[in-house]
Structure 1
Amino acid sequence: MSSPQIAVVRNEVHSEYEYHCDALSGNFPDAREVDFPAGERPDLDRAAGLVLTGSTAGVYERTDRPWIDEQRRLLAEAVERGIPTLGVCFGHQLANHALGGAVESVGTTARLVEVEFADDPLFEGVSPVVPAVHGDAVTSVGDGMEIIASADYYRAFGTRHRDAPLWTVQFHPEFTPGLRGRLEDDFGWEESDLRFEDVNAARVFENFLSIVEASADE
């Protein structure tokens, strides 16, 4: 039996950074990918689940990037339809912003981060050490959103909607040690006592796929 159709919504606006979208999509080999800034759109009538990728754009750049408002409307429709949705980094910020939360520029973080996870199926078996690269942060969560992951410097590091199947994470589950060189060159990746060997953040994608499959079976 084939897996339910996942739509991966790619949000990167600069081609030199698209490798993070490629890495994320690699975790969903059967997904339909859509380049949202380029004008492509997912078919919600066919999508069993949505994944919103990161981006070097900011959700507050709505005047210069009209597609951001279009994606806000897409997110609202997915919530209304009950389509399981996962927002990563920019996707985390967009979902909370679209639901009335606030996102601000806070300066770049590019390192492994220790996180406290709530008891949630998205985080089952996930190590509390995760890769983070971001310059913006959710400073107040959207309406209906609850915090399910926190770091010492960032309270709303992960969120979940109370009533809809919507999850968001600030970190990048797709980042692996093989990308460390790119992350250092592009974002000034910082080493610490935390080790990539302790990271299994891609388990988030496996858990999300299980959530989508369970939803499709209902």
Structure 2
Amino acid sequence: MRICYIQHESFEGIGAIGGWAAEKGYTVSGVHVYKGDPLPEVDAFDWLIVMGGSMGVYDEDRYPWLSKEKKFIEASIKADKLILGVCLGAQLLANVLGAPVRRNIVKEIGWFDVSLTPHGWNSPIFKGLPATFKAFHWHGDTFAIPESALHIASSMACANQAFVYGERVVGLQFHMESTRESIEAIVRGCQEELLEEGEFIQKADKLLGTETLFIELKKNLHALLDAMERQA
């Protein structure tokens, strides 16, 4: 399996996904669009992973590469590639599929519960996950569920936390790939957001979590990736 990931910020890599791919013996290549890396040909990979970032899906004026990336994502969907979008990546998927992306009612930053919907319970990709589990969050925007996609998960702060389009395209508003190191990097990159007050904004000391949280998160990440792998 050839995995290609798109990275939008220096501090938002693939985290624990890299370890899973290494265990499987898969090849992994990264496209750092913020550095000007060119996007590959669609036939150069089997699985596309679109990561997060602090920009919004409509910020083409500030980030001109967003327009090309959206066309690339659209071509990847049409080519029936396996695709996982995380945070901004999920918002880009939703946008490409015709759904609006807007400000969420509140910012959600920290460790909060995600609960599966009935569609999630029955999804071949998500049914191996607990009905409710802790995940890491860092977002201010939210996506609408694209037409023909299934609404998979929600949280108290954000109704639309995950969707599945067809059998091979998955969007996650939350982060399952997080490690202590990756969270430390995001805190360094976006620390000004932690100065804000909000019911769903945790302080930096809570963001680093506990060993138990990371163990459970990795277990759930592997369950999700294994299920997506089976869809291939």
TM-score, normalising length: structure 1: 0.80
2:3 to 2, 6, 30: 6
Please provide the CA RMSD for this pair. Answer: 2.6
Query: Which residue pairs with 1:15 in the alignment?
Result: none
Query: Which residue pairs with 1:122 in the alignment?
Result: 125
Identity of aligned residues (%): 20
1:145 to 142, 146, 149: 149
- Cα deviation code 1:167-189 (max 9, x no counterpart): 01011112234555555552424
- Cα deviation code 1:33-91 (max 9, x no counterpart): 11123232133212110100001111110233221121111111111111010000000
Q: How many residues align?
A: 205
Q: 1:211 to 1:115 in 2, by over 3 A?
A: closer
Corresponding position: 1:157 with 2:154: no
1:102 to 100, 103, 108: 100
Instruction: Output the amino acid matched with 1:172.
Output: H
Give distance in 2, aligned partners of 1:98 and 1:71: 10
Shift of 1:116: 0.9
Corresponding position: 1:169 with 2:172: yes
Instruction: Output the amino acid matched with 1:9.
Output: I
Unaligned regions of 5+ residues in structure 2, if any?
195-201
1:197 to 189, 205, 212: 212
Secondary structure of the equivalent of 2:102?
strand
Corresponding position: 1:23 with 2:15: yes
Shift of 1:121: 3.7
Contact 1:112 1:195 in 2 (8 A): no
Q: 1:213 to 1:147 in 2, by over 3 A?
A: closer
Contact 1:8 1:33 in 2 (8 A): yes
Give distance in 1, aligned partners of 2:41 and 2:167: 19
**Which protein is richer in helix relative to its size?**
2
Q: 1:209 to 1:112 in 2, by over 3 A?
A: closer
TM-score, normalising length: structure 2: 0.76
